[in-house]
Amino acid sequence: MAGHELELIGSTESFFDRLLEDIKAATSTVHLLTYIYLDDEIGQRVAAAMIEAASRGLSCRLVVDGLGSAEFLRSKLRTELTEAGVRVIESLPTRLWKALWSRLDVRNHRKIVVIDNMIGWIGSQNIASKSFCPKPRFAPWIDCMVRIKGPAVHDLQELFIEDWCLDTGEQLSELLDEPPMVLPDGATVQVIGSGPNFRNEVLPMIFQASIGAATDELIITTPYFVPDVATSAAIRAAALRGVRTKIVVPARNDSRLVSFASRGQYERLLSAGVEIHEFTGGLLHAKTMTVDREFFLVGSANLDRRSLELNFEVSMIGWDTEFASRLRFLQVEYMEQATQVDPLAWMKQTTPRRLLNNAAGLLSPLL
């Protein structure tokens, strides 16, 4: 759909400042869905804004994943929100007895904000400070978010309502009766929700089709790079046909097993001519892709099997030269804080290290 105003935010502080402004200016509804909600400085600021909005009579709803936000769900902050009138729902509860008929490894990994049916946010940022207190030695965590005005906000609202209904049984379909706003000469985008209930094959198809369409340049950033065989082959094929293909990943990953499995892919990628850049400025958590400075993807999904095939995720793809160029500029900033892997040096790695990386790669369908 055309008619969108897009604002790219590449700083955690700037995103939360902007988000709090939006919540403060809200007039009817504040809907927030996140995988991780921490009871830290940022979590408390967002909670205070939602409590203030609820005190003004707004309908405030918060959905958090049962595993990612387990500590928050037991916290005093959650109680304060509930007592103030903010509806807090645990998505996909992780009670042990539920394992008898449900998949506890399937998680709601989406990050969505919808305010007044008019403003939407999508990207990789959890409700957490960039210092990310559960894993501070990998800090800062680097994310990016996109603020949206236009018809796609209606789609984000629909996804939020579906997730709300999944865990509460409560229908909120009347909120979708309001016609979406269309901005003249705005960007063309599409919001895509994926998950085990429907369209769970859409993300690998989009990645493979987008990579296959590249003719000049392809840049991908992801914190967890453990793609399926077809996506990995598509990336190598792009480089082999002359596309400047660049992948940016963290130099230090919070999961050692994922780090080993990712590096198990390096040799084939480097042999095909793919550039691999290891970000040294923290844990790069942004999930982005640009193709030929025209097409872009931003969302919550990592380039791994869990995001591509299991979790509930949300992504936005689009065709807009101006926004794709802005996103590419952010990707270049990441590369300026990264060390490019030297193919010749990598091929000389020790046999034990190669065996370790390859052994971890055997577990990639589980990561």
Which residues belong to the active site? 109, 111, 116, 285, 287, 292
Pairing of strands 112-115, 87-91: unpaired
Give the number of C-alpha atoms closer than 13 A to the C-alpha of residue 207, restricted to the C-beta side: 32
Residues constituting the chain: 367
Please check whether residue 299 is in contact with residue 287, taking contact to mean a CB–CB distance below 8 angstroms. yes
Please check whether residue 259 is in contact with residue 293, taking contact to mean a CB–CB distance below 8 angstroms. no
Element (H, E) at 247: strand 244-250
Residue 367 CA to its chain's centroid (Å): 16
Backbone angles phi, psi at 154, to 5 degrees: -60, -40
Buried b / exposed e across 51-63, counting CB within 10 Å, b at 16+? bbbbeeebbbbbb
Pairing of strands 244-250, 217-221: parallel
Buried b / exposed e across 278-290, counting CB within 10 Å, b at 16+? bbeebbbbbbbbb
DSSP-assigned states of every residue in 263-298: HTTHHHHHHHT-EEEEE-SSEE--EEEEETTTEEEE
Element (H, E) at 250: strand 244-250
74: tokens are: 């037991």
Rg, the chain, Cα only: 20
Residue closest to 119 by CA, chosen among 37, 19, 203, 205? 19
DSSP conformational letter for 365: G
Q: Is 29 in a helix, a strand, or coil?
A: strand
